[in-house]
Structure 1
Amino acid sequence: MAFLEIVDLEKSFGNVRVLKGINLEVEEGDFLVLVGPSGCGKSTLLNTIAGLEPISGGEIRINGRVVNDLAPAKRDIAMVFQSYALYPNMTVAGNIAFGMEMRGIPKAERDRKVAEVAKMLQIDHLLDRRPSRLSGGQRQRVAMGRALVRDPQVFLFDEPLSNLDAKLRVEMRTEIKRLHSSMGTTIVYVTHDQVEAMTLATKIAVLKDGVLQQFGTPDEVYNDPANIFVADFMGSPAMNLIPARVDAGAAEPMLVLDRGSEEPLRLPLNGAAPKLANAVGGDIFFGIRPEALTDPDSADRTASHVAHGECTIEVVEPTGSDTFAITRLGGKPVVARLRADARVRAGEPMRLAFNLDKTVFFDAKTEQRIA
């Protein structure tokens, strides 16, 4: 039995269905990240788990207990909000201890827990300050500390890092991951940032328009996307999704990619050929991550199938650790990830290596994965 179970969950606001039959099973100690674009329903799903929003159908179970009709205080959860929600007239210590004080926990026990959590979060030197004298990262640590002293069954985080600058977000991501590793508590975490999701999660649920698109490990969601939406949403830069066709006229089936005025680029299908038998002559999308499309010297030496093709480079983007080169295939810009010192110039042809072990194919009409 899963520790947190979401079964056929429905949520409507009036006549608008916001969550549409969501099913998730989370094991104890998992770090589940709910990810998707704005308006996809991820925060609403988190709020239904917390009990802040009533559900319209289905069940929510925590540790085998149905909590549909339980008040938030009875669900044994703790929530960290995007807005921190600190009391401005209280010190850091007072903010962290407030919930325990309301539950009648003795002062000695409160003080012990506050000191323990403050040390863990490296804010023990700030206990006498008020929130107005704290940085954004320090305020977020206080909000986390207030949740941690609860020692709940499930932690819920609602985009806790979105108000922080980029450098501080990276630091706090590391802090949250370290805390999860040391405590092992079940966490459900909402973000629109797919890099954040990949970094933190043991499981990822990708939502779009209130529908669960895919649920799996970060590796499964990244390398084996269920559909075009997941392939495009997860990854930075995003997966290249190239219009293509399958040609069975040669000795072996070939993938054909248009190159404008030049001859089409033809790549072998290898192991994907049987799954694409029904796509011969039809339109498909060929998916390849930028790191699987690179200069020949950087190609994965362990790959079973690597094909090469000459492509005209339109734009070169050095980033320090890598160089991104943009070419055009199937009428769309395609990003290749090259080594930092790769010899590449805009307007010139370059031989690129396609790691065919890392490619996926989607039906052009349904946008679902076919191989």
Structure 2
Amino acid sequence: MGFLDIRNVTKSYGAVQVLHQVDIAVEEGEFLVLVGPSGCGKSTLLNMIAGLEGISGGEIAIKDRVVNGVHPSKRNIAMVFQSYALYPNMTVGQNMTFGLEMHGVPKPERDKALADVSKLLQIDHLLDRKPGQLSGGQRQRVAMGRALVRDPDVFLFDEPLSNLDAKLRVDMRTEIKKLHQRLKRTIVYVTHDQIEAMTLSTRIAVMNKGLVQQLGTPKEIYDTPANIFVATFMGSPAMNIIPATLRREGESVFAEIQDHAGQNLRLALPPGNFQAHIGRELLLGIRPEAITDPEGADRNSAHIVPLPNFVTVTEPAGADTFVTMTLGGKDVIARMRADASVHPQQSFDFVVNMEKAVLFDPKTEERILT
């Protein structure tokens, strides 16, 4: 049982089912991020938690109280919207305390909550301004403040940073992280931005086509993706997916792939239970940062394997250099140091950290457990 329990929840619009038996237990103080592409059902699920959408099947419970059919105002949740949803004719202070006033909270309590939260968010000097006089970042802080003054059981964030420019988005991400660390409140946060998901969350639910593809910590999602969708959706650049055949030679097992010229290369795999897959065509998943030059390889790994190949393109990106090559007939990206001496249209002796490699079944696209 969690602080917020989503139990086998489904949602249908007529004959179209948009959420399929979503089952998530959120612990008190947890920061859960629902992430996925547009149309995957994440905002629909958030609206069902809030009570803005009805539930077709299953249950949602907050602090062991089933809230199916309970009016949003009776759920003790607070929601921060993408559009901020501030009243333009009210001051910042009035916007932040309007909900408390509607719930009959006495003025001295409202004033204390306003003073505490506005100081916490560093907007106490803006309380007499109207929303039209604020920047995007300031309006976002006011929207967050309006949620905080209510002291709810659960905070719900619906893509709150998507309207901000890139730099402000990074700054506000940091502020939300600090806020959660200070308040230790339960947050469910919706985004399509996998960087937001990785940096903010204590756990991530990766969604696609109304299904939770994987639920886990950021490290679990990144290092051991449950399937190819999660592997390629989470991470920038995405995980490389390379056609391979598993071969055994003595006690060693290799992933056999083809280089740019169609010649076979063998990458030795760490020890594992591969017997059922020897001779099979599989998909080899390798994160870009696991492919590098010998000097940049992880010195703590016992499974650094040589990978000679031809460089197609180099892309300097400040702290990193992204290098594109061809493996198995596909473009494969390596993430290397900025000062790595690698040049386009030349051969280069790459190395791969095979401890970071994962294998997928090409038919089911699920990760193979070894």
Q: Classify the TM-score, shorter chain.
A: over 0.9
Q: 1:220-259 maps to which residues of 2 (within 5 A)?
A: 220-248=220-248, 252-259=252-259
Secondary structure of residue in 2 paired with 1:313: strand
Q: 1:319-358 maps to which residues of 2 (within 5 A)?
A: 319-358=317-356
Q: Equivalent residue for 1:165?
A: 165
1:360 to 358, 361, 368: 358
Q: Are the aligned partners of 2:76 and 2:153 in contact in 1 as well (CA < 8 Å)? A: yes
Q: Equivalent residue for 1:97?
A: 97
2:344 maps to amino acid: A
Q: Equivalent residue for 1:48?
A: 48
Shift of 1:280: 2.5
Q: Equivalent residue for 1:187?
A: 187
Q: 1:37-116 maps to which residues of 2 (within 5 A)?
A: 37-116=37-116
- CA distance in 2 between counterparts of 1:90 and 1:251 reads 73
Shift of 1:122: 0.9
- CA distance in 2 between counterparts of 1:278 and 1:240 reads 24
**Alignment gaps of 5+ in structure 2:** none
Secondary structure of residue in 2 paired with 1:271: coil
- CA distance in 2 between counterparts of 1:249 and 1:322 reads 36
Does residue 1:308 correspond to 2:306, yes or no?
A: yes
Secondary structure of residue in 2 paired with 1:312: strand
Secondary structure of residue in 2 paired with 1:314: strand
How much identity, in percent, do the aligned residues show?
A: 61
1:12 maps to amino acid: S
| Cα offsets for 1:94-124 (capped at 9, x unmatched) | 1001001111112222111111111111111
- CA distance in 2 between counterparts of 1:345 and 1:304 reads 28
Q: Are the aligned partners of 2:270 and 2:355 in contact in 1 as well (CA < 8 Å)? A: no
Q: Equivalent residue for 1:218?
A: 218
2:203 maps to amino acid: K
Q: Equivalent residue for 2:5?
A: 5
Aligned residues: 369
Shift of 1:252: 3.2
For normalisation by structure 2, the TM-score amounts to: 0.98
- CA distance in 1 between counterparts of 2:225 and 2:252 reads 27
**Alignment gaps of 5+ in structure 1:** none
- CA distance in 2 between counterparts of 1:270 and 1:322 reads 27
Q: Equivalent residue for 2:316?
A: 318
1:334 maps to amino acid: V
- CA distance in 1 between counterparts of 2:249 and 2:293 reads 29
Q: Equivalent residue for 1:208?
A: 208
1:339 maps to amino acid: R
Shift of 1:144: 0.4
Secondary structure of residue in 1 paired with 2:299: coil
Shift of 1:283: 1.8
Q: Equivalent residue for 1:142?
A: 142
Q: 1:264-303 maps to which residues of 2 (within 5 A)?
A: 264-272=264-272, 274=273, 276-303=274-301
The farther-off stretch of 295-304 and 276-285 is 276-285
| Cα offsets for 1:275-321 (capped at 9, x unmatched) | x3222332211011111111110111111211011111101011110
| Cα offsets for 1:149-198 (capped at 9, x unmatched) | 01000000000000000000000000000000000100000000000000
Shift of 1:243: 1.1
Secondary structure of residue in 1 paired with 2:252: coil
